[in-house]
């Protein structure tokens, strides 16, 4: 994504690199002409280019432009439509808009096999499609595109060397941005509260009674992976 965004020529010298492979060679001078990963402004500039594309195409493709402005997170697009026809139209328009600036969308993963076949047939760049029966990582959440459900992953190790620091690290590793695991995580946070009341230092090993209690909690945490939340929650109003 970043390699498609040019910087102003007046700023080339701000991205000057001097380099040589050995002390016997003359020093070479290079200027990076595209925005560079790691610089403070790179995220804003790349995102701003996408928004500019949407603004320039808002009259011709109003719906697609709105989606581009609203549903992108850096270079990841998450959006949807009410029916297959609308979804196929959106996919084509969004692809056309972004391709104007070299932003070539790929790795499509729809929850409709018909839409995937449509994308495959019209795609001419041999893009790899990110399809897995276990689901895909979608901004930290696991989305099972076949069942159209949101799932969770955990990686908890149980040992006898738990400390207050490692307990907090374990709790923090459970990612639940929508708050869907709140009732479960609350138990973990209440346990963390007990550690504070014990006046334990960060690297003190847990007393046996607390270690056993935390081990029991850790044994139950992997069951989170069995939870499946329907992605689509629709409320129909009755008049």
Among 1-5, 158-162, 180-184, 228-232, whose mean pLDDT is lowest?
A: 158-162
pLDDT on residue 74 = 86
- As a whole number, mean pLDDT of residues 50-59 equals 96
Q: Where are the alpha helices (DSSP H) in the chain?
A: 42-56, 62-71, 84-99, 113-122, 164-172, 182-197, 208-220
Tell me the pLDDT tens digit for each residue of 107-145.
888 888 888 787 766 655 545 455 555 678 877 788 888
Backbone angles phi, psi at 218, to 5 degrees: -65, -35
> What is the rounded end-to-end Cα distance, in angstroms, of the chain?
47
* CA 117-80-110 angle, 5° bins: 30
Rounded to an integer, what distance in angstroms lies between the CA atom of residue 90 and that of residue 35?
29
Q: What was the pLDDT predicted at 108?
A: 85
53 has a pLDDT exceeding 70: yes
pTM of the model: 0.72
* Predicted local confidence at residue 106, as pLDDT: 84
């Amino acid at each position: 994504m970043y390699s498609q965004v040019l910087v102003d020529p007046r700023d080339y010298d701000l991205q000057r690199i001097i380099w040589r492979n050995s002390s016997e060679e003359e020093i070479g001078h290079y200027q990076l002409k595209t925005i560079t990963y790691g610089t403070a402004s790179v995220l804003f500039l790349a995102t701003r280019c996408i928004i500019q594309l949407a603004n320039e195409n808002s009259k011709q493709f109003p719906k697609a432009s709105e989606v581009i402005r609203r549903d992108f997170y850096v270079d990841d697009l998450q959006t949807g439509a009410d029916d297959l026809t609308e979804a196929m139209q959106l996919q084509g328009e969004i692809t056309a808009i972004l391709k104007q600036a070299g932003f070539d969308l790929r790795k499509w993963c729809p929850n409709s096999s018909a839409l995937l076949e449509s994308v495959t047939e019209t795609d001419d760049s041999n893009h790899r499609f990110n399809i897995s029966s276990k689901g895909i990582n979608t901004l930290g959440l696991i989305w099972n595109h076949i069942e159209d459900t949101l799932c969770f992953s955990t990686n908890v190790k149980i040992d006898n060397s738990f400390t207050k620091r490692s307990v907090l690290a374990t709790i923090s590793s459970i990612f639940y941005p929508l708050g869907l695991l709140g009732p479960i995580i609350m138990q973990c946070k209440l346990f963390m509260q007990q550690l504070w009341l014990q006046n334990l230092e960060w690297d003190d090993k847990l007393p046996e009674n607390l270690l056993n209690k935390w081990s029991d909690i850790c044994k139950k945490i992997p069951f989170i992976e069995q939870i499946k939340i329907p992605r689509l929650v629709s409320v129909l109003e009755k008049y």
